Amino acid sequence: MLKRLQPVWCLISLLILLFPSAGQQPDPRAEVLSLRYHQHPEFFRIVLEIEKIREFYSAELKDPERLYLDIFQARLKSGLHGTSYQINSPGVKIMRLAQKNPSTVRLTIELVPGAKQSEKIYYLKNPNRLVVDVYARPGPEKSAPRPPASSSSSGSRPSGSETAARDSSPQPPSPSASGYSLVRQLGLGVKRIVLDPGHGGTDPGCISPSGLKEKDVALDLARRLKTMLETQGKFEVFLTRETDLSLPLEKRTAFANQKGADLFISIHLNASPRKNRTGVETFYLNFSPDPAVNELAARENASSTKNIREMKLIVDKIIKNSKYEESRDLAEKIHSSLLQHLKHNFGPRDDLGVKGGPFWVLIGSEMPAVLVEASHLSNAKEEAALKTETYREAVAAGLFRGIMEYVKSLGKG
């Protein structure tokens, strides 16, 4: 019997020698192949060449000031782990590259204290590479020269028609935190806006201790904001739901796409186990390793009708989100305006930040899209305020101001 088995074992041994990886699962991690950098006149650029596009997350830390970028399902090419780069740049001091854990590569960028204005992180293809642009704050500007005197001998002031013509001339857009996106390069503006009152119908959303439902407050806020945008901003505005209607998450952005909207804003109210928590939290579409963000996303996404088999397609949509830059800029302007307006009129509020999150209601939008958690139903003071006309009108006004700030930044305000 043993003699008959010997040729079989010999054949198996030969196959193992010839094909050592036979039977092993392919490594799902994408290899980070190289790092290079360059100081451009307006920003400092870091380029990570990577085998395949992978999810990433970035955040800032203090003491010392630094920006880190985690690339998931990735591994460093041999020799790159632990590499450090001393940089002579207005915004960047040191860069470090490391294998944070078996499936995560981390790039740490130590910043010149107080020098960073913004950063832009995005993928490019052919070859695949992840690009980080760090923009430093501008230095002191020289005083602008005074305009030359008018050639008119009369010395008279321009006529009213001349002044009007000068004031109505097109204004160039301002750069967002990420620079001049394609929207700004092409001089695009905003005409049509879709507002999405969160939840509805059989999905009440958060419920306050006294029974105030998120779906009802969100619809009222959206109606108020719609009126402001139509009357003061002269926009075309549509609501994803006009009544207490159940509406699948996927159909909300589909509705905005069908309407040809330029902006999509989903309005929600927050809740927290910490009853003293107040304030505003605003999201754009991205992945997040933050447990609190993922918990909120799980709660907001609970009514999705999608199945696990569709996960790859969903992830691809998030990765290929082409409105990332404008969505983040819109989120930042709405967040800042709403928070400051509420603070000014109603006292201190928690600034819970602008964050990326995998929210179903933002997936698939063909326009900049954000989700705003405008106040907390779980906080007694904010719950009481949300029952009043004054506070609801203030929330709508804060949202309106943020939208107008964004439109103005496009050179169209």
Q: Does the pLDDT value for residue 200 go beyond 60? A: yes
109-118, 135-144, 178-187, 306-315: which range is least confident on average? 306-315
User: Cβ contacts of residue 229 below 8 Å, gap of 6+?
Assistant: 193, 235, 237, 400, 403
Q: Which residues of 114-142 are buried (b: 16+ CB within 10 A; e: fewer)?
A: ebbebbbbebeeeebbbebbbbbeeeeee
Q: Does the pLDDT value for residue 1 go beyond 70? A: no
The values of phi and psi at residue 342, to 5°, are -70, -40
Domain count, the chain: 2
CATH number at residue 249: 3.40.630.40
Task: Tell me the pLDDT band of 126, cut-offs 50, 70 and 90.
Answer: confident
For residues 386 and 312, state if they share a domain.
yes
Q: Does the pLDDT value for residue 145 go beyond 50? A: no
In tens, the pLDDT along 158-173 reads 333 333 333 344 566 7
Range of the domain at 110: 30-136
For residues 288 and 366, state if they share a domain.
yes
What's the Cα-to-Cα distance from 210 to each of 48, 180, 272, 393, rounded to whole Å?
Answer: 52, 47, 15, 21
Determine contact, residues 306/87, Cβ cutoff 8 Å: no
Q: How far apart are CA 240 and CA 257, in angstroms?
A: 11
* Entry pTM: 0.56
Mean pLDDT comparison of 37-41, 146-150, 243-247, 325-329, highest-scoring range:
243-247
Q: What angle do CA 327, 229, 227 make, to 5 degrees?
A: 130
Count CA atoms closer than 13 A to 349's CA, side-chain side: 27
For residues 265 and 383, state if they share a domain.
yes
Task: Tell me the pLDDT band of 2, cut-offs 50, 70 and 90.
Answer: very low
Determine contact, residues 405/398, Cβ cutoff 8 Å: no
Question: What pLDDT is stored for residue 413 in this prediction?
Answer: 58
Give percent above pLDDT 70 in the chain: 74
For residues 237 and 367, state if they share a domain.
yes
Q: Does the pLDDT value for residue 67 go beyond 80? A: yes
In tens, the pLDDT along 70-112 reads 888 899 998 888 889 998 889 999 999 999 999 899 999 999 9
Strand, helix or coil at 259? helix
Q: Does the pLDDT value for residue 306 go beyond 80? A: no
CATH number at residue 75: 2.60.40.3500
Question: What pLDDT is stored for residue 237 in this prediction?
Answer: 96
For residues 253 and 369, state if they share a domain.
yes
The values of phi and psi at residue 32, to 5°, are -80, 115
Chain CA centroid to CA 213, Å: 27
Question: What pLDDT is stored for residue 232 in this prediction?
Answer: 85
Answer whether residue 2 is part of any domain. Answer: no
Token readout for 107 is: 């790039």
Q: Does the pLDDT value for residue 150 go beyond 50? A: no
Answer whether residue 361 is part of any domain. Answer: yes
Q: Does the pLDDT value for residue 12 go beyond 70? A: no
β-pair type (280-285, 351-357): parallel
Answer whether residue 76 is part of any domain. Answer: yes
Tell me the average pLDDT of the chain: 80
Q: How far apart are CA 30 and CA 50, in angstroms?
A: 7
For residues 126 and 274, state if they share a domain.
no
Answer whether residue 375 is part of any domain. Answer: yes
Question: What pLDDT is stored for residue 160 in this prediction?
Answer: 37
For residues 248 and 376, state if they share a domain.
yes
Q: What is the torsion angle, in degrees rounded to the nearest 10, for the CA atoms of residue 151, residue 152, residue 156 and residue 160?
A: -90
Q: Which of the two residues, 120 and 269, has the higher pLDDT score?
A: 269
Question: What pLDDT is stored for residue 95 in this prediction?
Answer: 94
Q: Which of the two residues, 196 and 187, has the higher pLDDT score?
A: 196
Determine contact, residues 214/206, Cβ cutoff 8 Å: yes
